[in-house]
């Protein structure tokens, strides 16, 4: 079985205090503290009015290369690395995905997002797409995406590469466990 690291979650009191501010205020305060551009560029809110504040679980995709990725992944669901980020989900967690701005691969679909919601996940930030959007939109999750697609995650030219490692999502560094503040204004990473 594949082993992937869990994250160190910030204190609940800190995350609770951030629920009273929006992403714009968080961005402004981070700028004042010396972090000039904490915004994840690209993903937009797909569920208007939804706000999430929670620690980041990270998933990185890379361009497919035959010596690094094999299509036999589907023979055993436990070989599907993108599932493993969801196994670490605790209530309030946010999955942040570096999908390389790819617009033709749906990194998650309805079934995986239903599983994530069932474990208490609150939101998904994807520098790319998901699939099954009409169903995913009804799960009650916050969804910040570049778009949607009918394709599954490895159908085109990317594959899941790393779980809970530093990623670049929308041009912004996201460390596992960073706090994500996301609302209708966008997504901000709080180190």
The per-residue pLDDT for range 138-180, each reduced to its tens digit, is 999 999 999 999 988 777 789 899 999 999 999 999 999 999 9
| Whole-number pLDDT of residue 75 | 66
Listing DSSP states for 37-92 in one string gives --EEPS-EESSTT--EEEEEEEEEEEE--TTT--GGGGGSGGG-HHHHHHHT--TT
Structural domain contains residue 103: yes
Domain that holds residue 76: 12-190
In this structure, what CATH number is given to the domain that contains residue 128? 3.50.30.40
Structural domain contains residue 185: yes
The per-residue pLDDT for range 113-126, each reduced to its tens digit, is 999 999 999 999 99
Structural domain contains residue 87: yes
Instruction: Give the residues of the chain that fall short of pLDDT 50.
Output: none
Say how many domains are in the chain: 1
Structural domain contains residue 7: no
Structural domain contains residue 56: yes
């Amino acid at each position: 079985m594949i082993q992937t690291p869990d994250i160190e979650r910030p204190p609940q009191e800190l995350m609770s205090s951030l629920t009273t501010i929006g992403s714009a205020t968080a961005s402004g305060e981070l700028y004042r503290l010396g972090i000039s551009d904490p915004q994840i560029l690209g993903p937009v809110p797909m569920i208007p009015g939804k706000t999430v504040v929670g620690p980041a679980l990270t998933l990185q995709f890379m361009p497919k290369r035959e010596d690094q990725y094999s299509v036999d992944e589907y023979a055993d669901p436990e070989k599907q690395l993108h599932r493993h980020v969801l196994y670490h989900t605790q209530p309030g967690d946010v999955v942040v995905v570096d999908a390389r701005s790819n617009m033709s691969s749906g990194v998650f679909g309805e079934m995986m997002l239903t599983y994530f919601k069932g474990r208490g996940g609150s939101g998904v930030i994807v520098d790319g797409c998901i699939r099954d959007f009409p169903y995913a939109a009804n799960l009650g999750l916050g969804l910040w995406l570049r778009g949607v697609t009918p394709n599954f995650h490895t159908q085109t030219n990317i594959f899941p590469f790393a779980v809970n490692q530093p990623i670049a999502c929308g041009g912004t560094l996201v460390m596992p466990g960073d706090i994500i503040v996301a609302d209708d204004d966008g997504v901000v990473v709080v180190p």
